């Protein structure tokens, strides 16, 4: 039986709160990754929730460094693309960021 | 549109994580958030593929947390794997195992099972 807060505590470093990313969606994406992915343990999406958070944080940090180089205060997709290009472990994203559809470059705070 | 939504993490959640990193007053354009959504989905697929290959080689059907941690290290995300292994062990300590659950059920029902 699930204890309330047992998992959210793990994810938010002691603070109560929901997962930062929806587990059902993560599971769907995992299943779409390949025909061989048939069964996924209950803990795997929870682990991915944390891993994705770390990934997004790292890529954002690197993209922000690119934004600062452009001497502006708004991050655009070009900054994310530049961060991907200059980081070896993000090589798997090169194809994705170099061939993206027309962006909706709407400013948002 | 539904298909597209289902293959991406929600933009609000992604945007919230990104916002934690940038200074107050700084902005993130919608196209940057959308690109990050795509990158995050690709990350999940990339790591899952590696984890799934390991399961196939070991004749296992279920991808578990250890496989994800192993795949992260294998693909060069060493800096995540320490954090993830600690996280995974704490998760397992918190979560009742099938054995524990059976014992709990037995205690409740006052019946003995194997």
Identify the CA nearest to A93 among candidates A77, A104, A106, A107. Answer: A77
* The predicted structure's pLDDT at residue B60: 94
* The predicted structure's pLDDT at residue B68: 94
pLDDT-above-70 percentage for chain B: 79
Residue A35 in contact with partner chain B when CB distance is under 8 A: no
pLDDT band at B110 (very low <50, low <70, confident <90, very high): very low
**How much is the ipTM here?**
0.80
Bridge partners (DSSP) listed for residue B28: A75
Q: Whole-number mean pLDDT of chain A?
A: 82
CB pairs under 8 A between A and B: 209
* The predicted structure's pLDDT at residue B15: 97
Average pLDDT over residues B2-22: 88
Quote the pTM value: 0.79
The verdict on a CB contact (< 8 Å) between B28 and A74 is: yes
The verdict on a CB contact (< 8 Å) between A10 and B91 is: yes
pLDDT over threshold 90, residue B73: yes
């Amino acid at each position: 039986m699930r204890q309330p807060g047992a998992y959210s505590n793990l994810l938010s470093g002691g603070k109560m709160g929901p997962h930062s990313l929806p587990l059902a969606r993560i599971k769907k994406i995992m299943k779409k990754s390949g025909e061989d992915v048939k069964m996924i343990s209950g803990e795997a999406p929870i682990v991915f929730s944390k891993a994705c958070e770390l990934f997004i944080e790292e890529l954002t940090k690197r993209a922000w460094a690119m934004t600062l180089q452009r001497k502006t205060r708004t991050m655009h997709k070009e900054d994310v693309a530049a961060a991907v290009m200059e980081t070896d472990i993000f090589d798997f994203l090169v194809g994705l960021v170099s061939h993206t559809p027309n962006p909706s470059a709407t400013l948002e705070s | 549109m539904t298909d597209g939504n289902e293959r991406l993490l929600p933009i609000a959640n992604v945007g919230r994580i990104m916002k934690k990193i940038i200074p107050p007053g700084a902005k993130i354009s919608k196209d940057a958030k959308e690109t990050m959504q795509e990158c995050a989905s690709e990350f999940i697929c990339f790591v899952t593929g590696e984890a799934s290959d390991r399961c196939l080689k070991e004749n296992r059907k279920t991808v578990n947390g250890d496989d994800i941690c192993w795949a992260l290290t294998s693909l060069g995300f060493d800096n995540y794997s320490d954090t993830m292994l600690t996280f995974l062990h704490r998760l397992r300590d918190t979560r009742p195992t099938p054995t524990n659950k059976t014992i709990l059920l037995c205690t409740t029902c006052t019946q003995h099972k194997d």
